[in-house]
Amino acid sequence: MFMRIDHVGIACHDLEEKIAFFERTFELTVVAREVNEEQGVKEAMLHIADGQGGGSYIQLLEPLGPDTPVGKFLAKRGEGVHHVAFGVPDVAQALETIGGRGVRLLDEKPRHGSMGSSIAFLHPKDVGGMLTELVQAPERGADTT
């Protein structure tokens, strides 16, 4: 079902400061920056490697406000790992399969994610305390805006 780890999402207060730290310390490169209003985040993807069905990345996340998933997380737990995202061939199919196995779905259908991907989240309480994201990379050659 999972083809690779697509990304690890890290919650932070100051996106620019964290980008500079990851670039300077780990020699990673930002390949995309986006504001995703639906998810309540300003974010950057830093490329690590290419894998089956797409790349793998670090996703740095700054909340757009306190009443957002990442804003609430920062208030409660402070900066740190917010979620782990796995690459799947088909998010809608994976949701159906995983939901059928009793895991609560935070999204009933796929939403828009970074770099033209389709994403959906699983409830952390049903996945050993880990907020879990499913990612389907965009079709090759598709418009990724």
Which residues would be at the binding site for ligand CMX (CB under 6 A)?
9, 36, 39, 41, 59, 61, 69-70, 72-73, 82-83, 106, 113-114, 119, 121, 124-125, 129, 131, 133
Residue 23, SS3 per DSSP: helix
Residue with the CB atom nearest Co ion in the bound state: 9
Q: Which does 63 bind (CB under 5 to 8 A by kind): ligand CMX, Co ion, none?
A: none
Question: Which one, 21 or 86, has the nearer CB to Co ion?
Answer: 86
Report d(CA 113, CA 137) in Å as an integer. 9
Residue with the CB atom nearest ligand CMX in the bound state: 69
Residues 71-89 as b/e (b if ≥16 CB within 10 A, e otherwise) read bebbeeeeeeebbebbbbe
